[in-house]
Amino acid sequence: MTMVPQGGPGLSRAGGGGSSSLYDVLELILDRGLVIDAFVRVSVVGIELIKIDARIVVASVDTYLRFAEACNRLDLESGRSAPAQLPDVVGKVVEGGSRGKTKGALGGALDAVTQSLRGRSEDEEAEEEPEEEQEEQEDELEEEAEPVRRRRPARRPVRRERK
Amino acid sequence: MTVYVYAITSRDHPCRLDGTTGVGARAAPVRVLAAGELRAVVSDIDEEIRPRRRDVAAHQAVQDRLMADGTPLPLQFGYTAPDDASVRHTLEEHAQTYRAALDRVEGCAEYNVKASREQERLLREILDDSPEARRLNDAIVAGSQDPRLPLELGRMVAAEVELRHASAASDLVRALVGPAREHVLHQPVGSEDFLNLSLLVPRDEEAALVKAHAAVARDDDKGVSVRLSGPLPPYSFVP
């Protein structure tokens, strides 16, 4: 989906599925922008998760095996095939070792952000995607993200002192 | 009272923010603090701000309003200061830095480009192009129990995926950077994305970018789609 200038500014809630475009620029809003050390950054779990999620682990045995499996599932004769999407790959990696686990768990947390941004809310009721299965997503992600932090103390975001 | 800080602008920015409300459940009015040649856009908050959709959208909506009249320096989501005085103090203390940062982005907007490729099509292409990968795949599908085969196939395919993504990414960068004053590559987010490119585009070059994007937006044969977002405040081009 494309947001192009059409007479006015406005990305976030311009018509035509604005919330998914907000999702497309989420990491810019959370992870880029001016940083002012003298100010306090509110402790926001999701921010750190996004950052970590972006480090994609490609060179691992788990990844190789998942790629091979995805290839094996292709129906090369008929052109029809079982879908071999990477989310599936990522999900399964969770079971396969500690490096994969990090990626998988955090991928899940990112999904939570996606869901929360695509879910319903009072000001954006237009979004009714049939493939959206999780109806009851919170409009925030801290609950989902919390277990990730507990399980992986090494990745725990640094909580800055407030005030 | 604690204030949430959205952006810094030059003093001559009109900051037309009437009726704009800020982050937080109370949705306090957004207001402007002046200090020397600079202004800060803030609102009062009395709670902890988290990245709820409502608040991220509110943060972005303030930026959109500002972009209508000139390019601000957008803060990263989530910054607060103890009170108005400390915001003014920071503006004064770092006036030179912010002034230079404003000059850098003046008259420009950020556009972000994300490109994805359907994995299934990519894997098909790789198996079509590589007889060795195809042979390994056929052997596994035929029932070979040799544990080395999947590993070898996977390694081969992973390398090809990386190679093809890199090559497609650099083609897109070449096709899109023309109208940009600066550009920066970010790590792709999401499982099928292979490009995350931010461009700093002069406002009078936006049409050229939109046109360049239209030429590459979809390649159905390859399963590639290229999403353009913007105009955005220059999140990727500030200190």
State the first-to-last Cα distance of chain B, in angstroms, to the nearest integer: 27
HSE of B227, CA atoms in CB hemisphere, 13 A: 20
B139: contact with A, CB 8 A cutoff: no
Instruction: Decide if B79 and A55 are in contact by the 8 Å CB cutoff.
Output: no
Percent of chain B with pLDDT over 90: 91
The mean pLDDT value for B65-81 works out to 96
Of A29, A54, A63, the CB nearest to B235: A29
Where residue B13 falls (left for φ over 0; alpha for ψ -120 to 50; beta otherwise) is: beta
Alpha helices by DSSP H, listed for B2-74, are 53-67
B127: contact with A, CB 8 A cutoff: yes
Window A:27-66, CB contacts with B under 8 Å: 27-36, 38-47, 50, 53-56, 58-59, 61, 63-66
Chain A residues in contact with B119 (beta carbon < 8 A): 70, 84-86
- At A36 the pLDDT is 92
Percent of chain A with pLDDT over 90: 11
B221: CB partners within 8 A, 6+ apart:
none
CB neighbours of residue B76 within 10 Å: 21
- At B86 the pLDDT is 96
Higher-confidence position of B2 and A120: B2
Window A:73-112, CB contacts with B under 8 Å: 74, 76, 81, 83-87, 89-90, 107, 110
B78 touches B162 (CB < 8 A): no
The residue in chain A having the minimum alpha-carbon distance to the alpha carbon of residue B155 is A64
Distance CA B119, CA A83 (A): 9
Per residue in B182-196, pLDDT tens?
999 998 887 789 999
- At B189 the pLDDT is 82
The sheet with strand B218-219 has its strands ordered as B182-185, B193-202, B108-117, B224-232, B218-219
Closest CA to B208 of B179, B186, B229, B230: B179
A8: contact with B, CB 8 A cutoff: yes
- At A137 the pLDDT is 37
Distance CA B33, CA A104 (A): 44
Instruction: Decide if B51 and A27 are in contact by the 8 Å CB cutoff.
Output: no
Closest CA to B29 of B3, B60, B63: B3
B71 touches B102 (CB < 8 A): yes
Parallel/antiparallel/unpaired status of strands B182-185 and A40-41: unpaired
The residue in chain B having the minimum alpha-carbon distance to the alpha carbon of residue A50 is B189
Percent of chain A with pLDDT over 70: 25
Query: What radius of gyration do chain B's Cα atoms show?
Result: 23
Lowest mean pLDDT across A46-60, B64-78, B93-107: A46-60
Of A41, A64, A113, the CB nearest to B79: A41
Reduced to 3 states (helix: H, G, I; strand: E, B; else coil), residue A154 is helix
HSE of B82, CA atoms in CB hemisphere, 13 A: 8
Instruction: Decide if B52 and A140 are in contact by the 8 Å CB cutoff.
Output: yes
A27-36, A98-107, B94-103 — most confident range? B94-103
Per residue in A37-47, pLDDT tens?
888 887 655 55
Strand partners, B66: none
- At B52 the pLDDT is 83
- At A58 the pLDDT is 58
Chain B residues in contact with A75 (beta carbon < 8 A): none
- At B58 the pLDDT is 95
**Exposure class string for B119-153: b at 16+ Cβ within 10 A, else e:** bbbbbbbbbeebeebbebbeebeeeeeeeebbebb
Instruction: Decide if A64 and B49 are in contact by the 8 Å CB cutoff.
Output: no
Residue that has been written with the tokens 């800020």 in this structure:
B22
Structure tokens at B22: 């800020």
The residue in chain B having the minimum alpha-carbon distance to the alpha carbon of residue A118 is B53
**Substitution target from A4, A21, A47 for chain B, most B beta carbons within 10 A:** A4
- At A46 the pLDDT is 54
**Substitution target from B41, B77, B153 for chain A, most A beta carbons within 10 A:** B77
The mean pLDDT value for B112-121 works out to 95
Instruction: Decide if B188 and A54 are in contact by the 8 Å CB cutoff.
Output: yes
Chain B residues in contact with A45 (beta carbon < 8 A): 50
Q: Domain ranges in chain B?
A: 2-106, 109-237
B193: contact with A, CB 8 A cutoff: no
pTM of this prediction exceeds 0.90: no
- At A151 the pLDDT is 36
B158: contact with A, CB 8 A cutoff: yes
Higher-confidence position of A87 and B134: B134
B24 touches B47 (CB < 8 A): yes
Higher-confidence position of B23 and B48: B23
Distance CA B143, CA A19 (A): 46
B1: contact with A, CB 8 A cutoff: no
Of A2, A25, A59, the CB nearest to B217: A2
Of B51, B64, B210, the CB nearest to A11: B64
Closest CA to B74 of A124, A25, A125, A104: A25
Distance CA B101, CA B38 (A): 12
Distance CA A127, CA B57 (A): 15
